[in-house]
Amino acid sequence: MLFGPPGAGKGTQAEIIVEITGKPQVSTGDMLRSAVSQGTKLGLEAKVFMESGKLVPDQVIIGLIEDRLNEPDASNGVLFDGFPRTIPQAEALAEITEVSAVISIEVPDEDIVNRIVGRRMDPITGEIYHVLFKPPPPGTESRLVQRKDDNEDTVRMRLAAYHEQTKPLGEWYSNRGILAIVDGTGTIQEVGHSVAKAVRSI
């Protein structure tokens, strides 16, 4: 499981872990965004919470995860990214399956806002860029899109939700002896190196 505040680089670093472990990435944020863009009932329900920087209700998320874990590619384990985000979600997950390791990517709040407001996505390749820290290839700039919740006001709400509801989970997993902490403030490559080291030591 990848754990950390919004904008810590969980999605970016997930790629390395998927490469090392071969396990599929399960990102509740990506699943919800896909439901929103398809206009499903779930998407309509989740949209208001997401756009205001609040967490989607636990029972919605738990149902989503139960369905996802029943898919064949999840039978040998998955990499959770952005889930669980509350103690009730972690408790529900513990009923379904065992969490073997948690990698916490730590980034101070001051850095998060700068990271998130400069974040852009290429809708064709799905690749994530940053206007300053990871500029897109020349010629692709005009097609890049920004997530609706990647603006300063919403980021501050998302950070507040993280501190109140998600951060206590770090201690929850640390008490179970399965938490590895990685400094998330370096370059993508530096953080990737630390993440790979943590995964190989698990």
> Which is nearer to ligand AMP, 29 or 192 (by Cβ)?
29
Which one from 23, 54, 68, 147 is the annotated catalytic residue?
A: 147
> Which is nearer to ligand AMP, 6 or 184 (by Cβ)?
6
**5 lines the binding site for ligand AMP (CB under 6 A):** no
3-state SS class at 2 = strand
Q: What are phi and psi for residue 179, nearest 5 degrees?
A: -100, 125
Site for ligand AMP in 124-163 (CB under 6 A): 149, 158
Q: Which stretch binds ligand AMP (CB under 6 A): 27-35, 37-45, 175-183, 185-193?
A: 27-35
Residue 138 is given by DSSP the state: T
Indicate the angle between helix axes 28-38 and 58-69, nearest 10 degrees: 100
Q: How far apart are CA 6 and CA 175, in angstroms?
A: 23
Number of C-beta neighbours around residue 73 at 10 A: 10
**4 lines the binding site for ligand AMP (CB under 6 A):** no
Which one from 47, 115, 120, 158 is the annotated catalytic residue?
A: 158
User: Is 33 one of the annotated active-site residues of the chain?
Assistant: no
> Which is nearer to ligand AMP, 117 or 193 (by Cβ)?
117
Which one from 10, 33, 115, 120 is the annotated catalytic residue?
A: 10
**28 lines the binding site for ligand AMP (CB under 6 A):** yes
Taking CA atoms, 45 is separated from 26, 55, 74, 158, in Å, by: 20, 12, 25, 18
133: CB partners within 8 A, 6+ apart: 115, 118, 188
Which one from 47, 85, 115, 120 is the annotated catalytic residue?
A: 85
Q: Which residues bind ligand AMP (CB under 6 A)?
A: 6, 28-29, 32, 49-50, 53-56, 61, 82-85, 89, 149, 158
User: Residues with catalytic annotation?
Assistant: 10, 85, 119, 147, 158
